Amino acid sequence: MITGDGNLVELQATIRYSIDRAALEHFLFDAAEPDEIVRAAAEAVLHEDIAGRSFIDLLTSQRERLQEEVITKLDRRLRECGKQGLGIRVEDVLLHDLHPPQEVVPAYHEVAKAMEGRDRQVNEANAGRIREKRDAEARGQQLIRQSEAIARETVRSETAVQARFLSILDARSGLGPRAEAEMIARAVGAMLVGRDISTTLNDYERRRQDRHAQSAVLTDFRLFWEALGNALAGRQKIIIDADKVPGHRNLLLVDPEQFRVPIPMLTPMERGRNPSSGPRGEMPD
């Protein structure tokens, strides 16, 4: 038979059918040789269907569909034979073998192997692409989680810095409840003993401003020494008792290497010479 793309194929098929008991008289009397009619009709239907398909499709993906279409068309064609049909019901069509002519079978086998290799490479490429996509998605999720963790840590750190700054600001610009209570109690006590209210309020305001100034100075002093301690942490330091050194107290930042006592280096001749021995000629190797 000739395929739709002009190639030749050899086909072996079996047509399985049964006699319809309700139309038994048509099978017995309407046709002299019903088996030959079935054979001829099957060959005609196969010729038609194979002529509408390419050879590669028949060898690979279209064989099962070909069988289904042949069953439907052959059953319909046999029912149209005679006035009432042949009384035959097609059960199945089995394609035992479908191959090119024997002369070109080895070449087609090579083609089939090449197609299988192509399909395998395509499947492997698709599997690799899917694997790479999943790996990329996993890496993306990991980066997202890391970014979220860094963001949360940054927020917590900045919140702590903000809280520390606000506490320092409050300590620098405000007085504690205890200090305020002491100053108010002192002002009230002064007014109770008969001191002038205006003078008492002015004195209270002056003392309060002095306490604010002292708090600011102490806070700045503490912040200065904290910053200095952080800057000098892990560094080599030389501490000199300032009370025993004349002059002002100073903080000197110098390279500690300048205070190291240099160690004299021995030359090769001096390392090999023994002071208690005689001249160099008497020294053993």
Domain boundaries, the chain: 10-100, 102-157, 177-232
pLDDT band at 130 (very low <50, low <70, confident <90, very high): very high
Interatomic CA distance for residues 37 and 104, integer angstroms: 32
Residues 20-37 have a mean pLDDT of 79
pLDDT score recorded for residue 62 = 76
pLDDT band at 129 (very low <50, low <70, confident <90, very high): very high
What is the pLDDT of the chain when averaged over all its residues? 78
Residues 128-146 have a mean pLDDT of 93
pLDDT band at 109 (very low <50, low <70, confident <90, very high): confident
- The correct answer on CATH 3.30.479.30 for the domain covering 10-100 is yes
User: Is residue 6 over pLDDT 70?
Assistant: yes
Q: Which residue has the higher pLDDT, 259 or 277?
A: 259
Residue 122, amino acid? V
Q: What is the DSSP letter of 21?
A: G
pLDDT band at 174 (very low <50, low <70, confident <90, very high): low
Residues 134-144 have a mean pLDDT of 93
Residues 96-108 have a mean pLDDT of 76
Residues 194-211 have a mean pLDDT of 79
Nearest CA to 96 among 207, 162, 157, 15?
Answer: 15
Angstrom CA distances, 216 to 170, 208, 229, 253, 281, stand at: 10, 12, 20, 27, 79
Angstrom CA distances, 163 to 45, 80, 169, 217, 284, stand at: 90, 96, 10, 21, 76
pLDDT score recorded for residue 145 = 92
Residues 52-72 have a mean pLDDT of 82
Ranges 167-176, 223-232, 240-249, most confident: 223-232
User: Is residue 74 over pLDDT 70?
Assistant: yes
User: Is residue 54 over pLDDT 70?
Assistant: yes
pLDDT band at 86 (very low <50, low <70, confident <90, very high): confident
